[in-house]
Amino acid sequence: MSDIPARIEAANAETLRRMLAADPVLVDVVPAHVALPRLADRMILHSGPPIAWERMCGPMRGAIAGVAVFEGWAKTLDEAEAMAAAGAFRFEPNHHHDCVGPMTGMTTVSQPLLVVENRAFGVRAFCAINEGLGKVMRFGGNDAEVLDRLRWIRDVLGPGLGAALRDLGGVPLKPLIARGLSMGDEMHQRNIACSSLLLRLLAPALARKVSDRAALAAILDFIGRNDQFFLNVAMAMGKSISMPAEGVEGSSIVTVMCRNGTDFGVRLSGVGEEWFVAPVEMPQGLYFPGYSAADANPDMGDSAIVEVVGLGGFAMGAAPAVVGFIGAGPASRAADFTRSMGEITIGQNPEWTIPSMDYAGVPTGIDVRLVVDTGVQPMINTGIAHRKPGVGQVGAGVVKAPLACFEKALVGFAKRMGVS
Amino acid sequence: MSQNRPKTLLKTPLKVVNVGLDGFSDDLARQKVPVVRVQWSPPAGGKPDLARLLSKLGA
């Protein structure tokens, strides 16, 4: 019994080592049915822990109806909802397929997926391409404009991006993130620098590989106008970093945090594939003109994978400009968020540093023991969806991961360690 | 501590740092005594079962 703390410390050190040793490279864009061998027709992957149709929130249902029409499984949104309620579709979490998705997180067979390969460990993780802001499927949007955009992403943007990335031999992401942190990004609600840096790298290759001038112009315009384009790249990268850190026996480090608009789910490295789930909390933030907290849906998305690897709310110190955007207080408090997250993590990432904090590394490796002991909840920067299907994004804010998840995870971890 | 210290303590403005429950400082704050609160909470939110597990798991 007495060596248990030492065993945990050693296991956690190994988990952190694997996270820090990652070498994520954005290598390709491929259709989901190629990328995900277990993704079947009429299967819909969603964000967060497992959930049945009956318990899904409004925007999740709206997105499912929309994606069913997009895939041609239903002719209308009403028909799609009826089919979903009748059990015509199979729902599984993205995380069960080495995949992540923002907000509602829809992943289906014909969508093009970003491919990030962690070359240090030989694993690949996937995420759909960011659709832009406002009325989009990830926030529950599902009208003709949303579906037409998805078709363009499938037919033009995805193939073009894939060809450009293959032409480049991939884009190493660790140095890109390091530069983004020094330029004011935290890679969750602020991706302006990394989106721009990525476009700068991609543009020549796109010009070489996309021969249709109108298509090329549309691709450059779409990426150039989307400050959050890099978010989905960062998410696939986060998943590729956390995957090798899973399954370290005796490790109490968090490898997954995610939410589906109803539940928040956590997984630990040392507790296999078990989910620890609690009701998700409401984001606190700022709303677009015409909307208020009364319109907001509880938090959702797999995007908290970036916080798992030390970015987003954990790297807020690098991004004072985002603090005001998400209504988290004065910009001068940015570093406080990062310092606070340092209380629940076991290390820092020496390659991802924050200049204004004397080049401190972003806090990395959330230890469930520290979360429960201190009561300090992981802070997640997030977008806010309208609670009704079909409306879309209405704001941005911060949300705290519910403590109950971590308390349940601690009990599950203790059981695994033979402690009662 | 000097024997004179208690005599001077109550004759000069108090400088109070509260370590513990916020309730201790609330009464002083109501009397307009400046109080600095140290951020503090009992281990595991005061839940004995979780605190016991944490002690065995090395937190």
CA distance B47 to chain A (A): 10
Question: Contact, A59 vs A261, CB < 8 A?
Answer: yes
Question: CB distance from B57 to chain A under 8 Å?
Answer: yes
* Boundaries of every domain in chain A: 22-235, 246-416
Mean pLDDT of chain A: 96
CATH of region A246-416: 3.90.1700.10
For residue B1, pLDDT over 60 is answered with no
Region of poorest pLDDT, from A40-49, A83-92, A176-185, B30-39: B30-39
Beta bridge partners of A364: A347
Question: CB distance from B46 to chain A under 8 Å?
Answer: no
Interface pTM, i.e. ipTM = 0.89
A238: three-class secondary structure by DSSP: helix
Residues 6 or more apart in contact with residue A55 via CB below 8 angstroms: A262, A263
**Fold of the domain spanning A22-235:** Enterococcus faecalis V583 fold (3.90.1710)
| CB < 8 Å to B45, chain A | 372, 375, 403
* Boundaries of every domain in chain B: 5-57
Query: Band of the pLDDT at A328, cuts 50, 70, 90?
Result: confident
> In 10 A of CB B48, how many CB atoms?
10
CA distance A399 to chain B (A): 20
pTM of the model: 0.93
Pairing of strands B16-19, A99-100: unpaired
User: What backbone phi and psi angles, to 5 degrees, belong to A188?
Assistant: -125, -65
For residue A208, pLDDT over 80 is answered with yes
User: What backbone phi and psi angles, to 5 degrees, belong to A134?
Assistant: 80, -130
Between CA A347 and CA A2 the distance in angstroms is 24
> Could you tell me the CA-to-CA distances from A373 to A82, A163, A365 in Å, in that order?
46, 49, 16
Query: Band of the pLDDT at A2, cuts 50, 70, 90?
Result: low
Q: How far is CA A191 from the centre of its chain?
A: 13
| CB < 8 Å to A411, chain B | 50, 53
> In 10 A of CB A52, how many CB atoms?
9
Question: Contact, A39 vs A33, CB < 8 A?
Answer: yes
Specify the pLDDT at position A398.
92
Q: Which two tokens mark A178?
A: 């390091």
DSSP A216-240: HHHHHHHHHT-TTTTHHHHHHHHHH
| CB < 8 Å to B53, chain A | 410-411, 414, 419
> In 10 A of CB A15, how many CB atoms?
29
Specify the pLDDT at position B13.
80
| CB < 8 Å to A419, chain B | 53, 56-57
User: What backbone phi and psi angles, to 5 degrees, belong to A69?
Assistant: -70, -45
For residue A1, pLDDT over 60 is answered with no
**H/E run at residue A337:** helix A334-341
Beta bridge partners of A91: A44
DSSP for residue A367: B
A27: three-class secondary structure by DSSP: strand
